[in-house]
Chain A
Amino acid sequence: MRLWVYIIRRLLLLIPTLIGLTFIVFILSHVSGTNVILSEYISPKLTGAARQILVQQLTNQFHLNQPIYIQYFYWLWQILQGNWGVTNTPIFSGQVNTAIALFLPNTLMISIVASILIWVIGVPLGVYSAVNRDSPADHSLRIGSFTLYAMPIYLIGIVLILLVGVYLKILPFSGVVNPVSVSSASWYVNGISYPTHIILIDAIIHGAWGIASDAFLHLILPSVTLALAIVASMIRILRSSMLEVLDQDYIRLARSKGISERSVINLHARKNALLPVITLFGYTVAGLLGGAVVVETIFNYPGIGYWTTQALLVSDIGGIMSAALLFGLILMFANLIVDIVYALVDPRIRY
Chain B
Amino acid sequence: MSYTLQVSDLNVQFYTRRGIYKALNGVDLSLKQGEIFGVAGESGCGKTTLGLTIMGLLPKNAAVTQGEVLLAGNRDLTACLRNAAPSEGEKFNIKQSEEAIKKLNRESCDIRGTKISMVFQDPMTSLNPVLQIGFQIAETIIAHQPRPLAERKIARTKVTHDDLGQIIKLLKEGADEQAINKYAESKNLHGIEDQVLSVWRRNDLGETKKEKIILSLHSEKLGSFEKLVLERVGSGKNIGGWMRIPGINRAAKNVLLKEGYIKATELLSMLEVPNPDKVVRMYPHELSGGMRQRIVIAIALANNPELVILDEPTSALDVTVQAQILELTRHLKHRFNTSFIFISHDLSVLSEVCDRIGIMYAGRIVEIAPIDAVFSRPLHPYTRMLTKAIPTIDGNEIQGIGGTVPDMRNVPIGCSFNPRCPDATEKCRSAKPSMVEVEEGHFVACFPKGD
Contacts and interface: CB of A to CB of B under 8 A. Distances in A.
A257 B122 CA distance: 17
Contacts of A255: 57, 105, 112
Contacts of A249: 120, 122, 125-126
Nearest to A346: B130
Interface in B105-127: 105-106, 108-114, 117-118, 120, 122, 125-127
B129 interface: yes
Contact of B129 (A258, A259, A260, A348): A348
B421 to A, nearest CB: 36
A43 B379 CA distance: 104
Contact of A256 (B112, B125, B283): B112
A268 B108 contact: no
How many residues of B sit at the interface, in one of the four size bands? 20 to 34
A270 B55 CA distance: 24
Interface string B262-293: 00000000000000000000010110000000
B163 interface: no
Nearest to B139: A259
B112 A248 contact: no
Contacts of A261: 102, 105-106
Interface string A255-276: 1111111010001100110010
Contacts of B122: 249
Interface string A299-328: 000000000000000000000000000000
A13 interface: no
A156 interface: no
A250 B126 contact: yes
A311 B431 CA distance: 87
B97 interface: no
A257 B299 contact: yes
B116 to A, nearest CB: 8
A124 B114 CA distance: 31
A261 B117 CA distance: 16
A350 B112 CA distance: 34
A56 B286 CA distance: 66
Given A259-B143, A347-B130, A253 B118 contact: yes
Nearest to B300: A256
Choose among A267, A272, A347 the residue with the greatest number of B CB atoms under 10 Å from its CB.
A347
B144 interface: yes
A253 B120 contact: yes
B78 interface: no
Contact of A272 (B57, B120, B128): B128
B160 to A, nearest CB: 37
A230 B369 CA distance: 63
B198 to A, nearest CB: 21
Nearest to A268: B128
Interface residues of A, number: 25
Contact of A268 (B110, B120, B125, B131): B131
A348 B128 contact: no
Contacts of B120: 249, 252-253
Contacts of A134: 94
A138 to B, nearest CB: 12
A258 B112 contact: yes
B130 A258 contact: no
A258 B128 contact: no
Contacts of B143: 257-260
Contacts of A250: 125-129
B173 to A, nearest CB: 39
Interface in A111-140: 134
B118 to A, nearest CB: 4
A345 interface: yes
Interface of A: 134, 248-250, 252-261, 263, 267-268, 271-272, 275, 345-348, 351
Please list the 10 inter-chain residue pairs (A to B) with the smallest Cβ-Cβ separation, ordered nearest first. Answer: A258-B113, A258-B112, A257-B140, A249-B125, A257-B113, A347-B283, A256-B118, A250-B128, A259-B143, A249-B126
Given A255-B105, A256-B117, A257-B117, 6 more contacts: A250-B125, A257-B139, A258-B108, A258-B112, A259-B139, A348-B283
22 contacts: A134-B94, A250-B125, A250-B126, A250-B127, A253-B118, A253-B296, A253-B299, A254-B128, A255-B105, A256-B112, A256-B113, A256-B117, A257-B112, A258-B113, A258-B114, A258-B143, A258-B144, A260-B109, A268-B128, A271-B130, A272-B130, A351-B286
Interface of B: 55, 57, 94, 102, 105-106, 108-114, 117-118, 120, 122, 125-131, 139-140, 143-144, 283, 285-286, 296, 299
